[in-house]
Chain A
Amino acid sequence: MSLGFYGKNILDPLREYYGDLGKRMRPYILLTMFSTVALSLIPYVCGQFLSKIINISESDGLDLDFIINISSVGVLLVIFWYVSSTHCGMELNKMALDICKKIRTDLNRKITTMPTGVLESMSAGDLTSRIVTDLPAVKDLISRDYMAFFSGSLLSLLILLVMILVSPVLALSYVITMPATLIVSRIISKKSAKDYEIQKRMLNDIDAEMSEIVSNHREIKTHNLESAILEKFEISNRRFTEAKVNSESRSGLIPPLASVASNLGYVVTAVAGALMLFNGMLDLGTFLAFMIYVRLINGPVLISATTVDRLRSEITSLNRILEIIGAPEAEDGSSEPDSSYKGKITFRDVRFSYTDAAEVLHGISFEVSPGEIVAISGPTGSGKTTIVSLLLRFYNPSSGEVLIDDINIKNISRRDLSRTIGSVMQEPWIFRGTIRENIVYNRDWITEDDLTRAMEVTGLHRLTGNLPQGLDTAVDNDLLSLPLAFKRMIAMTRAIAGEPGILILDEALSGLDPVTESAIFDGLKKMMSGRTVIIVSHDRRLTSQADRIISLNDGNIADQARSDPVL
């Protein structure tokens, strides 16, 4: 259980992102060292007191000066120790908080810029559990437990040093018994490491279950699944409780064992001390001070032994957080800033498969001219949404190219891509904020007129007109379920308000009644005239109104027909 080993390993992974934490902590560690020296001298001071008192009984007179001097020294030591330790504690805390703030910023960045495929491979519940559980653990690690372990180990080493300086022989007799404590603690903490792993996993399970209950609440109520879900939760609950009790009981054995070992050391030292006193090799005051040190060293050793357990668990949390921070960011293309695109789309021999699954697109090629309205249809699972995902560069094709205006989208900056393409996904995303914020999102150049125009096309103003706060009504995704049609309209208004060069609607109009659907579609055609529109739908009524239909079947293009106007 060497310090160096732990010191190096704990903070090293952070070095890449946040600089040499170890170096920044060094002055505080040094200051803590000095103040712990002060603390460890205090029993010596008391020892001197005692020997003076005992010796007084054997001689006459009271050395008042000595007593006052030594009292002042003692008081000064205490004050110095308190001030410096508290100051160090505060500074370290502030440092840890700053780093945690930076970690949170980076977590946020990674979540918003990671490649989609990587993000999808992690479950939402697991990610949320990392934020809710692992991040606070990292904060505890940096601000408290790392230093506690260090100063605990340091203090025990210092006390040991003082003991050796005071009386090498006595120190030796004590040290002989120390390995017992260390070995036993080591064995126990090795076993509890596994317990901690299980405990962590179970806690994440509980997080995920709760997350699921929040997301699926309406579904659970609809089908009266309360008892089924409660039963499912109880499994995780029980497993976690078992794991926690196991690990706590096991690590709860350390203090009593340390106590036994410490008393063993005490007795051995007492015997050796007695022998030395008898032979005049030691004076009483030193002996008494030594007995106090033996008692004192027990505390820090115990702290380091128990902190190691906590450290282990916190290091696991740290690794889980660093997994996200170290994740790659989606590659960006470069292009002339703010270039405008006409809206010609080309797919050239594109093949694609999701991470470990079968190939979804088997080399499809098609072209969409600027200003065309093209429908992509096909049975479920044929690859329609995949085409949209590739066009929006959520993923890169396994082979083949996706081009806009004959430029490979890999060479178009994502910023330009997002400005050019407006999209509405199958699952519309509403975030916590006002309806207005949900529509405008990150495009502060959208004016009130743009907003009104977009709403007239989608008909959103009819829904929001009756709301007491209109567009400034607060909405949220999870807590109170908005009707799907409402969400779809907001998402569509969002897409149109930016006047994109290419508009993609992925099943965006399904769920609306035929009259509303036609009205919106007509409005869209007018607004997007001259610009490209891609509609993904299997609804023939809708697709028949497009200029051209691309029919997909099982990842291949079955047909590219001009739509029949008679229909």
Chain B
Amino acid sequence: MPSEYKRGLSPYIRPYRKSIAGVLLIQTAGAFLQVVAISLLKPIVDSSAEGYDAVYILELGIILLAVTVLYGVVIASASSLSSRISASIAADMRRGVIKSSLKNQDLGNLKTPTYAMTCLTGDISVIQEHIFQTLRTYAPMPVLLALMSISTFLINFNVGLVLVLAILLISLFTLIFSSRLTRLYQARLESMDNLNSSLREKITGAKTIRAYGGADYEKEKFERVNGTFGRYNKLIVLKSYFIPLFSTAFVWLFLIFVYMSAALDYSGRVIPAYSLVLFMQFTTCIVNTMSLIPYLCLILPQVRVSAERIAETSAAGKDYGRAGADESGDYAVSAENVEFVDRFGRKTIENMDISIPKGTVSTVLGPNGSGITELVDLILAFSVPSSGTFRVFGMNTAECSPEQIRERVAYSGNHSNIFRGNLRFNLDPAGKNDDARIMEVCRSIGFSDYIENLPDKLDSDMSSRPMSGGQNQMLALARCLLRDADMYIFGDSFLSLDENSARNALNGILRLCEGKTVLFAQHDPFTAEASQRMFFISGGKVKSYGSHSELASESPAYAEMFGKAVR
């Protein structure tokens, strides 16, 4: 209902109150000017009809033109202002949507991956167009209709009354009809989302689809979504096609009725030609103005639906407080009796106690599904324990904002997502390092040759440049190492590298991170050798920890893992 969408839109509209008031004022002036222009026609036509001298008509004409030019200036400036206001409001809305997408911890609040995109370009465009048209075209309507009704009342009270009734009837009728369309518009937008994300999915899965010859299967899947969308579109057409021209037809019928009754009503008095002509001018103006009403009413349900969607998408994520860091401790990570239950209901971490001292190089490893990924997520505050306390540099992850934790902990996985932009941006998106430092870090891990061989070096555009698995891996490592953090976590970070490159990168990492806390979450024997402490995780618990040689001799499961891992 209207109140909901106003709530969604009002924070965006509020800052522009003054400008909007200004535009409305200008438009009111414009409406008056238009009525003046029409009234000027009366003496022109009157004089022409009575065959007055052409010079007089020309004089009147020049005044009319002057008024028209003034009117033109008024609506041009109103139009430009309306455009600026509506575009700025739309820009603010876009920023709101993006901000909230970035603030949310994950995108689970979105129904489909393309939901926010459709919102950004589709819904916001609808609202922008609506605000623009309201300020530019629809704003003078009430004033115009009021002035015209007044003039009609002056000519003939009954006619004026019927006119006002006609305006009210048409508006009511179209409003009622269009409100019944709201749910249809909503359903249509939802199915459009499904359609868009279905198509987008096929783009990311292009290779697999071709490898499996899945084109026919994808077609079947797609036609279901396509059909639903088409059906909603048809339904909307069937339920609304008679609305737009309705008021025009109604008004013409009304006018014919008026002329008929005026003719029948005649009781011998002399009706001056100009008042009738004036009335005719007004009637054409009225027809043009009132034909806008249905369009306005048709767009209202769309606006309502779009405003709701925008409000939903810009809903901010949870606001955490900022906790103080307890620097007196010796531990980068400390967890006591931590348990974690994942979103599928499985207890993936059970009674875990782990303490990683500051400044050490450690490794966590274990069989797949043993809880290593979940542990890393807990350290990075992507999840919080279901019970127990998890502290990173003394900060309780359940009580402070994740951003705080991630300021001090940098992570590199085995894959880096490429951002649109150049290589420099991809290596250092926050822009905190100069080129010299960037190249120094890349040289340490063995990435600098690749960069030197590029024609544009750090300015190379990454969006159209496919990287091999190993180059991509190096980018991830560099991006992580270029951050000024207190702890660095490497999860499967050497997977795409051959042994020489991996050893080289490891040496670089150890050199660059000297004095900081380093944690490896992978199965390489040489990172194990470089680690001061190994944590062997199995079944969601820390089974044993110690140095590599200690564990190899004490724990058979550990030895088995490394027995197979000998290169």
Contacts and interface: CB of A to CB of B under 8 A. Distances in A.
Most buried by A among B199, B283, B343: B199
Most buried by A among B58, B202, B366: B202
A89 to B, nearest CB: 6
Interface string A91-130: 0011001001100110111011100100111011101110
B532 to A, nearest CB: 21
Contacts of A252: 76, 79-80, 82-83, 136
Contacts of A270: 44-45, 48, 57, 61
B318 interface: no
A385 B394 CA distance: 45
B419 A230 contact: no
Nearest to B428: A228
Nearest to A473: B344
A256 B270 contact: no
Nearest to A274: B48
Interface string B510-550: 00000000000001000000000000000000000000000
Contacts of B8: none
Contacts of B48: 270-271, 273-274, 277, 287
Given A46-B255, A57-B271, A213-B101, A111 B54 contact: no
Most buried by A among B91, B248, B406: B91
A222 B47 CA distance: 79
B18 to A, nearest CB: 18
Given A105-B222, A292-B280, A540 B567 contact: yes
A3 interface: no
A381 B73 contact: no
A430 to B, nearest CB: 9
Contacts of B459: none
A226 B401 CA distance: 14
Interface stretch (A153-161, A203-211, A402-410): A203-211
B553 interface: no
A451 interface: no
Nearest to B110: A479
A513 B368 contact: yes
B344 A466 contact: yes
A424 to B, nearest CB: 9
Q: Is the interface of B mostly helix, strand, loop or mixed?
A: helix
Interface stretch (B149-157, B161-169, B236-244, B332-340): B236-244
A226 B101 CA distance: 9
A252 to B, nearest CB: 3
Interface in A414-472: 414-415, 417-419, 421, 423, 425-427, 429, 431-432, 441-442, 462-463, 466-468
B420 A78 contact: no
A322 B41 CA distance: 51
Interface stretch (B114-122, B171-179, B320-328, B349-357): B114-122
B3 to A, nearest CB: 29
A469 B208 CA distance: 26
B492 interface: yes
B389 to A, nearest CB: 22
Contact of A432 (B72, B201, B280): B201
Interface in A216-239: 216-230, 232-234, 237-238
A214 B312 CA distance: 16
A558 interface: no
Nearest to B277: A288
B21 interface: no
Contact size range, B: 35 or more
A514 B283 CA distance: 86
Contacts of A429: 204-205, 207-208
B87 A245 contact: yes
Interface stretch (B299-307, B435-443, B556-564): B556-564
B117 A111 contact: no
A289 to B, nearest CB: 9
B203 A418 contact: no
Nearest to B421: A232
Contacts of A268: 61
Contacts of A176: none
Interface stretch (A12-20, A131-139, A334-342): A131-139
B460 to A, nearest CB: 13
Contacts of A238: 91
Contacts of A132: 114, 117-118, 121-122, 196
A75 interface: yes
Given A105-B222, A270-B61, A111 B206 contact: yes
Given A267-B44, A274-B47, A380-B471, A131 B256 contact: no
Contacts of A101: 226, 230
A149 to B, nearest CB: 16
A541 B565 contact: yes
Interface in B182-215: 195-215
A348 interface: no
Interface stretch (A23-31, A80-88, A525-533): A80-88
Given A238-B91, A417-B213, A421-B211, A288 B241 contact: no
Nearest to A222: B411
B14 interface: no
A9 interface: no
B434 interface: no
Given A53-B271, A248-B87, A511 B414 contact: yes
B237 A291 contact: no
Given A284-B49, A284-B273, A380-B468, A230 B117 contact: no
18 contacts: A42-B256, A56-B266, A75-B253, A78-B249, A89-B244, A116-B210, A213-B101, A230-B99, A232-B419, A292-B281, A380-B469, A392-B210, A468-B344, A485-B369, A507-B469, A513-B368, A514-B562, A538-B497
Given A210-B101, A380-B470, 5 more contacts: A49-B260, A108-B226, A234-B95, A237-B91, A267-B64
